[in-house]
Amino acid sequence: MEREPAALLSVLTDGNAVLNDHADDAGLCAVCGSAWPCDATRLAGAFR
């Protein structure tokens, strides 16, 4: 899933901000709307 290349790039540079934005909202990512943890969250966690 690569709908937001810019967002994925920001994951590499500021993982904490991504984790703050891509919050768990009743099981869905507050930003992506996909099942949480979303791809961005998992990437940010991997690089933090």
| Cβ distance to Zn ion smaller for residue 15 or 32 | 32
Fill in the per-residue mask, 13 to 42: x = in contact with Zn ion (CB under 5 A), - = not in contact. ---------x------x-xx-----x-x--
| Cβ distance to Zn ion smaller for residue 15 or 38 | 38
Q: State phi, psi for 4 to the nearest 5 degrees.
A: -130, 80
What six digits make up the tokens of 35?
Answer: 């099942």
CB of 32 to Zn ion, least distance (A): 3
> Cα-Cα-Cα-Cα dihedral of 1, 24, 19, 36, to 10°?
-30
